[in-house]
A and B are shown apart, each in its own frame.
Chain A
Amino acid sequence: MMVGIAVSTNINGDNAEFLCHADETLLDVLRDRLGLMGAKEGCGTGDCGACSIILDDRLVCSCLVLGAEAEGRRIETVEGMAQGDQLHPLQQKFLEHAALQCGICTPGFLIAAKDLLAKNPDPTEEEIRFGLAGNLCRCTGYDKIVRAVQDAAGVMRGA
């Protein structure tokens, strides 16, 4: 009897193995099979960015990736950002700038901002706004998020 596709991958630096169905998205695998609830399902069609993860150094929507595609790849999720009790500078600055309210979009914003700063450590405000255009927030608004990213970028450059 077919029980699913066996997949070996690496998530936040740790090797992980799971079984999934052919039509199961990586978002569903992360949440329902691996218990990583950081990535959220907003739209499920790649428009809102709440399910953003980094797949082999590329920012992607995990709702538009099949679980089976994760074979042999490297996945980074919001769960890998803090080091123990030490928050990532982006997480710390999101708190300090009150850059979240309901929090549904926040893991996606944090991962998208992490990817942005990895590629462009000193972005202009415009570059931040364009870089995060694939992430929608319906309550905080974007100004606080942009300020938090700018502040975190400064901390990370100094670190």
Chain B
Amino acid sequence: MRYIRPSSLEDAIGLLVEASGKAAILAGGSDLLVRMKGGFIEPELIIDIKAIDALRHITESEDGFVIGAAVPCAVLGENAALRRAWPGVVEGANLIGSKQVQGRCTIVGNLCNASPAADSVPALVAAGAKALIRGPAGSRTIAVEMVPVGPGKTSLAPGEIIEAILLDKRQPRSGDAYQRFTPRTEMDIAVVSAAVNLTLDDQGVVQSARVALGAVAPTVLLVEEAAEILTGSRVDDKTLDRLAAACSGACRSIDDKRGTVEFRRKVAGVLAKRVALAAYQRAGQK
């Protein structure tokens, strides 16, 4: 096994192409090193992307935020502007693992690990975040929900790297929120999770919404029916009940040691209500 720390994205992509499927990208390592230790993967080459300066920063511009692929989740939580604009995205990212893991793990890693229970992904999907992908054929930008295609599998082509996550500039009267259910309060993996992102008009009516559910299907789900229910409402009790029913109905969960199908359906609805209210309150405060 070899370890290389390229200083440019072009070099990283060149190495990735050259290794033809036998290389692994290292950012935070909190998934990669565990999988290597468990013998699940044996890469011939590890490409550490943390020396690529462009990937190490969060930048804010007229268009919104660009979060580099090597930025640890702890840094998202320390960025006041990002916290203010996208509190749901930050709360999802900051629920991954412990303080120790927070100092290393990245949202791009969380996305590319492609776990249906990934904590940072539902809020990114609800936020309409995009993945900026660079590969041998150039750059492309896709919606975050198009990256994972199943547990542990992504739509990235050979040689492609996600360079950054893009978040739009925040519209006035907008809010987002993420919550998950876990048996423990810390250091656990979501049994069910939900994220809601919405924008209100100047009368306090929901103008647009996005609703995402985690850990209830092979990939994080964008529930369009739930978004349609919220749109045009003031997030009243009747709307919330319909939202819960739509979210429960959208689940395609499995029974496993952490929860049954029936439990996940029920909790998906409960969490959707709670995050819709939290997002609504946050939107109203702006």
Contact = CB atoms under 8 A, between A and B. Distances in A.
B234 interface: no
A23 B26 CA distance: 12
B33 interface: yes
Interface stretch (B97-105, B115-123, B173-181): B97-105
A55 B100 CA distance: 10
A66 B50 CA distance: 13
B29 A65 contact: yes
A116 B100 CA distance: 11
A65 B98 CA distance: 15
Q: Which interface class (under 10, 10 to 19, 20 to 34, 35 or more) fits B? A: 20 to 34
Given A5-B3, A22-B46, A46-B97, A64 B186 contact: no
B100 A69 contact: no
Given A25-B33, A112-B99, A64 B104 contact: yes
A131 B99 contact: yes
A31 interface: no
B37 interface: yes
Contacts of A65: 29, 33, 104
A44 interface: yes
A58 interface: yes
A63 interface: yes
B187 interface: yes
B46 A66 contact: yes
Interface in A55-105: 55, 58-61, 63-66, 68-69, 71
B107 interface: no
A133 interface: yes
Contact of B97 (A52, A115, A134): A134
Contact of B187 (A5, A23, A47, A63): A47
A31 to B, nearest CB: 16
Interface centre among A5, A45, A52, A61 (most CB of B within 10 A): A61
B157 interface: no
In this complex, the member of B2, B37, B50, B98 whose beta carbon has the largest number of chain A beta carbons within 10 angstroms is: B98
Nearest to A65: B29
A130 B98 CA distance: 9
Contact of B34 (A45, A59, A71): A45
B3 A60 contact: no
A63 B37 CA distance: 10
A64 B101 contact: yes
Given A23-B36, A58-B72, A66-B46, A134 B98 contact: yes
Given A25-B33, A115-B99, A133-B98, 18 more contacts: A22-B46, A23-B46, A44-B37, A46-B30, A46-B97, A46-B98, A52-B100, A55-B103, A58-B74, A58-B104, A59-B103, A60-B103, A60-B104, A66-B29, A69-B26, A71-B5, A112-B100, A134-B100
Interface of A: 5, 21-23, 25, 44-47, 49, 52, 55, 58-61, 63-66, 68-69, 71, 112, 115-116, 130-131, 133-135
16 contacts: A22-B46, A44-B37, A46-B33, A46-B98, A49-B98, A49-B100, A59-B99, A61-B100, A64-B28, A64-B100, A65-B104, A66-B26, A66-B46, A112-B99, A133-B99, A134-B97
